[in-house]
Amino acid sequence: MENNRRATPKYTCYFCNKTLENETEVGHTSVCGSVLVPCPNNCGAYIQRMALKKHNVECVNKTNHTLPKQKVMRQQVPTQQVPTQQIHLQPVPIQPSQIQQTTYQPVPNYMVHTDDIDEILKNDNKEELYKLSRKLADLESRFHFQQKNQNQTSVSLQNFENLKTSQLQLNLDIEKLKYQTQIAYDWRTKTDTIISTLRLNISSVENYKREIDSNLMSLQNRMMLMEKLQDQISYLKDSFLREQAYNRQVDMDFNEKLEEVKKLLAQENAKSVAILGDLKDSVDGLRQDMEGAKARLEDQGIQFTNIIYDLRGVGLIADEANKKIEKLEEDFTELKKQMTQMKLDMEILESLSGSSDFRPKPGRLLWKITEVDTKMVQAKQSNSVIKSPIFFTHEYGYRVRILMYMNGLKKWKDRYALLCVHVLKGEYDMVLNWPCHIEGYVTLRPISDAAAVKPFTKLITAKRQEGNEECEEPQESSSCYIFIPHTTLFKNNYVKDDTIFIDIKIKETNKLETSL
**Distance (Å, rounded) from C-alpha 282 to C-alpha 249?**
27
Nearest to 386 by CA among 402, 364, 409: 402
Answer whether 0.85 is exceeded by the pTM.
no
Do residues 95 and 133 make contact, with C-beta atoms less than 8 angstroms apart?
Answer: no
Q: What are the structural domain ranges in the chain?
A: 360-516
> Which residues, at least 6 apart from 373, have a Cβ–Cβ distance to it below 8 Å?
498
**Lowest-confidence region among 1-5, 98-102, 154-158:** 98-102
Query: How confident is the model over 177-212, as pLDDT tens digits?
Result: 888 888 888 898 999 999 999 999 999 999 999 999
Give kind and range of the element (H or E) at residue 402. strand 399-405
Give 456's strand partners: 444
What's the one-letter identity of residue 417? A
Q: How confident is the model at residue 278 (pLDDT cuts 50, 70, 90)?
A: low
- Report, in this order, helix, strand and coil percent for the chain, each rounded to 5: 55, 15, 30
**Distance (Å, rounded) from C-alpha 284 to C-alpha 206?**
80
Do residues 116 and 191 make contact, with C-beta atoms less than 8 angstroms apart?
Answer: no
Do residues 200 and 122 make contact, with C-beta atoms less than 8 angstroms apart?
Answer: no
> Which residues, at least 6 apart from 418, have a Cβ–Cβ distance to it below 8 Å?
404, 405, 408, 409, 412, 474, 481, 482, 483, 484
* CA 472 vs CA 186, 463, 468, 481, 515: distances in Å: 100, 10, 12, 9, 28
**Distance (Å, rounded) from C-alpha 8 to C-alpha 1?**
11
Nearest to 162 by CA among 178, 128, 138: 138
First-to-last alpha carbon distance for the chain, in angstroms, is 95
**Lowest-confidence region among 2-16, 188-202, 384-398:** 2-16
Do residues 114 and 107 make contact, with C-beta atoms less than 8 angstroms apart?
Answer: yes
Q: What is the pLDDT, as a whole number, of residue 118?
A: 56
**Lowest-confidence region among 195-204, 340-349, 452-461:** 340-349
Q: Which CATH number fits domain 360-516: 2.60.210.10, 3.30.360.10, 3.30.565.10, 3.40.50.10320?
A: 2.60.210.10
